[in-house]
Amino acid sequence: MSLTYKQAGVDRATGEGAKKRIAALARQTHNSNVLREIGLFGGFYQFNRAAYREPVLVSSVDGVGTKIKLACKLGKYRGIGEDIVNHCLNDLMVCGADPLFFLDYLAFGKLDPPVVEELVAGMVDACKEAGCALIGGETAEMPDIYQAGEFDLAGTIVGVVEKSRIIDGSTVQSGDVMIGISSNGLHTNGYSLARRILDANSDLHLEVNYDGIDGTLGDALLKPHRSYQKVLREVRQQRALHGVAHITGGGIAGNVSRLLRSPLQMRVNWDAWQWLPLFQLLQKHGNVAVEEMREVFNLGIGMVFIVDCEAALAFFERLKVLGEEPVRIGEIIST
C-alpha cells in the first residue's frame, strides 16, 4: 500500500486553505512599506530610513506559555492572538523602539482552520492597534509532537529606534524612583502555577464569578495582555526617564534587575499597592508563599518606570493625565 502525507497526519489541502485565509486577514495590517503579499519565502518591508540619522533595528521573540491550555479548555482563542502581539510589542517599546512588522509561528497536532483564523484575527486586531504589519509566519501541522486539539504559538516583532534614543538602563543611578502602572491580570506569565492551583481546588470553577473579579474566573484568566504602547509613546523621550521594565516572567524584581549594573540594586515597597483580587484568590487557594507570588506574577504592576528623583513628581502627574493610576513602588540604591 502506498502511504500519503495525509495518512501520516498532515493534511496539506487543509493547511493551504488556512494559509490563504491567514493572508487575507494579515492584509488588513499592511501599509505602503510592505512590498509583497504573504506567501513568498520571506516577508519584505521597507521602512523610511530617511526619518532616522542612525536607525537601529530592535527585535524580540516570545510565546504565551500554558495560557494556551486554558484557551483550549474554554474554547476562546482570539485573545491569545492579542496576547502574543502585545507581549512582544511591550518588550520592544521599553527599549525606545517603534514596531515595524510582526511574524507568527503556529504549530498544531492537527490543523483546525477555525481556531487558526481566530488566533490570527486576534493578532490582526493587536497589530492594527499598534500600527504594526503582520507580514508572514509559519503554520505547521506536527501530529507526532502535539496531540489533536493542542497547539503552540510564538511571535517575533521587529522595530526601529534612533540610536541616541535607545532606552537600556545605562543612565539609571542611585536615588532614582520606581513608578509602576497597572496590569490587567496575569498577562502571559505564571499560568503553569495558576493551572496547578485550579487543578488542586475542586471548589474553583472557571465559569463562576468571584468577589472583586470582573467577569468569570475564566474571563479574568484569559484577559488579553495589556498593550502599553500609548503611554510609552507619550513619556519615553523625557530626559528624566532612565529605564523601563516590562513585568513578565520573574516578576518585578526579576525584570527591573535587567536594567541595573553593579553596585545598583532596587528597594521595593511591597506595601505600596494592593494585589488585584485575582492574585489574592490564587494565593489563598494555592497556599502560595508571598515570596513565590512575587517571583512568579506581576501582582498588578505591568510596567515600571525608573525616573530621576527630582523629576519623579512631574512624571507621576504626567502618567495621571494619561489616565493611569501610578504607584511609587520603590527606589534604586547603591550597595
CATH of the domain at 73: 3.30.1330.10
Q: What is the pLDDT of residue 40?
A: 82
pTM reported for the whole predicted model: 0.95
Please report, for residues 26, 122, 170, the alpha-carbon distance to residue 104 in angstroms, rounded to integers and kept in the order given. Answer: 11, 12, 31
Q: Does residue 191 fall inside a structural domain?
A: yes
Q: What is the pLDDT of residue 14?
A: 79
Q: Does residue 7 fall inside a structural domain?
A: no
- Whether pLDDT at 275 is above 90: yes
Mean pLDDT of 85-98: 98
Beta pairing class for 98-108 and 133-141? parallel
Q: Does residue 170 fall inside a structural domain?
A: no
Q: pLDDT tier at 152 (50, 70, 90 boundaries)?
A: very high
Closest CA to 153 of 257, 245, 241, 77: 77
Higher pLDDT, residue 128 or 148: 128
- Whether pLDDT at 7 is above 80: no
Q: What is the pLDDT of residue 279?
A: 98
Q: What is the pLDDT of residue 6?
A: 77
* In a shared domain, residues 185 and 148: no
Mean pLDDT of 138-152: 90
Number of separate domains in the chain = 2
Q: Which amino acid is at 7?
A: Q
- Whether pLDDT at 283 is above 70: yes
Closest CA to 146 of 116, 178, 108: 108
Beta pairing class for 133-141 and 264-268? unpaired
Residues 6+ apart with CB under 8 A from 70: 191, 195, 206, 218, 221, 222
H helices present in the chain, as ranges: 12-26, 67-74, 78-93, 113-130, 191-200, 217-221, 229-235, 251-256, 277-286, 290-296, 312-321
Mean pLDDT of 171-193: 98
- Whether pLDDT at 225 is above 70: yes
Mean pLDDT of 316-330: 97
Q: Which three cell numbers stand for residue 219?
A: 474571563
- Residue identified by cell 498593550 is 227
Q: What is the pLDDT of residue 268?
A: 98
Residues 6+ apart with CB under 8 A from 7: none
Mean pLDDT of 238-266: 97
* In a shared domain, residues 224 and 274: yes
* In a shared domain, residues 94 and 238: no
- Whether pLDDT at 9 is above 90: no
Higher pLDDT, residue 16 or 124: 124
* In a shared domain, residues 160 and 181: no
Closest CA to 272 of 304, 224, 239: 304
- Whether pLDDT at 11 is above 90: no
Q: pLDDT tier at 2 (50, 70, 90 boundaries)?
A: confident
Give the residue from 165, 186, 203 where a domain finishes. Answer: 165
SS3 assignment, position 39: coil
Mean pLDDT of the chain: 95
Q: What is the pLDDT of residue 15?
A: 76
* In a shared domain, residues 128 and 212: no
- Whether pLDDT at 44 is above 70: yes
Q: What is the pLDDT of residue 172?
A: 98
Q: What is the pLDDT of residue 1?
A: 66
Q: What is the pLDDT of residue 244?
A: 98
Cis peptide before 263 (omega within 30 of 0): yes
Higher pLDDT, residue 37 or 101: 101
Q: Does residue 5 fall inside a structural domain?
A: no
Q: How far apart are CA 193 and CA 149, in angstroms?
A: 22
**Distance of alpha carbon 137 from the chain centroid:** 18
Full residue range of the structural domain in which residue 217 is found? 177-334
